[in-house]
């Protein structure tokens, strides 16, 4: 399988972490590319020029990180990214993390092209408000979260998504995560950063 990606995409990192947690990394050929440059090899497999894109063994091109994670999860029954007994809760928290990730990415891209003025428009304000609400809710939930110890069960999809989203906010929008503002999330994320899958895929 081929995975088209770059080093700063939170969506691509989500897929890489999922693959590592599923022990599928040996099955993936990583194809590094710049989607903003309309890389010919990327456009040859998917018309949207977005990453990540997974090209399966039979030549199917799957875009969008959660769809790719779903496909990878189906390749091997254990460990499951979305345990059946916890599916609703896992997917609910995945949606929170993914929403945070999308808003942070949208803000980053808007600032890249329009500067901080992008934050003042309707969409900019909606993204900032969405991130504020998501962080506050995740902070409330973090008190009940646990981090699997090294060698124990694989991470679930919600843990992966929230961790990558928080790391991306810290990477691109650090002013939204001032020290001490979200102590529960800070403690949880600090523990999660020790996970080999997150270490190996750190933003660069």
Q: Which residues, at least 6 apart from 195, have a Cβ–Cβ distance to it below 8 Å?
A: 147, 148, 150, 155, 163
Domain 84-200 has CATH 1.20.1050.10: yes
| Predicted local distance difference test score (pLDDT) of residue 151 | 57
| Predicted local distance difference test score (pLDDT) of residue 152 | 61
Question: How does DSSP classify residue 28?
Answer: -
Structure token digits, residue 99: 């929403």
Question: How does DSSP classify residue 194?
Answer: T
Helix then strand then coil, in percent of the chain rounded to 5, is 60, 5, 30
Q: What is the pLDDT along the chain (204 residues), one digit of tens a residue?
A: 999 999 999 999 999 999 999 999 999 999 999 999 998 999 999 999 999 999 999 999 999 999 999 999 999 767 899 999 999 999 999 999 999 999 999 999 999 999 999 999 999 999 999 999 999 999 999 988 887 766 567 899 999 999 999 999 999 999 999 999 999 999 999 999 999 999 999 998
CB 1 within 8 A of CB 28: yes
* Domain at 2-75, CATH class: alpha beta
| Predicted local distance difference test score (pLDDT) of residue 182 | 97
**Domain spans in the chain, listed from the N-terminal domain onward:** 2-75, 84-200
CB 21 within 8 A of CB 160: yes
The string of DSSP codes covering 60-126 is -EEESHHHHHHHHHHH-SSS-SS-GGGHHHHHHHHHHHHHHHHHHHHHHHHHHHHGGGGGGSHHHHH
């Amino acid at each position: 399988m081929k995975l088209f990606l770059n080093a700063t995409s939170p969506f691509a990192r989500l897929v890489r972490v999922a693959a590592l947690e599923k022990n599928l990394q040996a099955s993936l050929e990583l194809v590094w590319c710049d989607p903003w440059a309309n890389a010919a090899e990327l456009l040859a497999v998917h018309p949207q020029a977005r990453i990540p894109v997974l090209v399966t063994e039979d030549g199917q091109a799957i875009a969008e990180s959660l769809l790719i994670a779903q496909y990878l999860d189906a390749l091997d029954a254990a460990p499951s990214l979305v345990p059946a007994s916890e599916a609703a809760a896992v997917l609910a928290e995945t949606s929170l993390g993914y929403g945070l990730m999308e808003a942070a990415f949208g803000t980053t891209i808007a600032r890249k092209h329009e500067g901080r003025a992008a934050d003042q428009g309707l969409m900019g304000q909606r993204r900032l408000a969405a991130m504020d609400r998501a962080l506050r809710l995740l902070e409330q939930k973090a008190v009940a979260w646990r981090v699997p110890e090294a060698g124990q069960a694989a991470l679930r999809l919600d843990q992966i998504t929230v961790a990558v989203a928080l790391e991306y906010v810290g990477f691109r929008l650090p002013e939204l995560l001032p020290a001490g503002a979200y102590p529960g999330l800070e403690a949880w994320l600090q523990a999660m950063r020790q996970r080999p899958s997150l270490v190996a895929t750190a933003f660069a």
